[in-house]
Amino acid sequence: MDIALACVICLAGGIVAGLIGVGGGIVFVPAMTIVLSKGQVEAEATSLMMIALVSVVGTWRQIGYGNVNLKDAVVIGLLSPVGVLAGVVVANSVPERALRIGFALLALYMAWRLLKRVFADDPQTSG
C-alpha cells in the first residue's frame, strides 16, 4: 500500500511541478512526512534522489532542444556535491523539528514568490 501511495504522491508532485513550475519537493517532502510517516531527513533525502533522476532525464531532453549551456551544467554538476555534503552535515546536526520548521518557512516563501509573480503588473517581473 505504501508503494502505491508513494506512486500517487510522485505523480501529483510531478504534475504540480510541471504545471506551475515549482520543484516537486514542495509536494514530495510534506507528503512523505505527513502521509507516509517518514522522518524529515528521510523525506528530504528521498526528494533529493528524485530530483537527481528527474534532472538527468530533463537535461537529456533539453540537450535535444539546444537549451543546455554545457559550461554552466558542468559548474553546477561539480559544485552540487559540495552543497549536498554541507546539507548532510546541517541535517544531521540540527533537530528534526527545526528542519520541519525551516522547510515550512521555505515552502511559504516560495508560495509568496509564486503569488507575487502571478499578480505582478509586469509579466517579466520575477522577484
Mean pLDDT of the 36-49 span: 84
Look up the domain containing 97 and give its range. 2-118
What confidence score (pLDDT) does residue 19 get?
A: 80
Q: Compute the distance between CA of residue 61 and CA of residue 55 in angstroms, rounded to an integer.
A: 10
Total structural domains within the chain: 1
Higher pLDDT: 78 or 52? It is 78
pLDDT in tens, 27-42: 788 888 888 888 888 8
Given a cut of 70, whether residue 126 has pLDDT beyond it is no
- 66 three-class SS: coil
Q: Which of 27, 28, 36 is nearest to 4 (CA)?
A: 36
Q: Which of 80, 49, 61, 74 is nearest to 18 (CA)?
A: 61
Percent of the chain with pLDDT over 70: 93
Please list the alpha-helical segments (H only) found in the chain. Answer: 2-20, 25-34, 40-65, 70-93, 96-118
Would 126 be classed as within a structural domain?
Answer: no
Given a cut of 70, whether residue 73 has pLDDT beyond it is yes
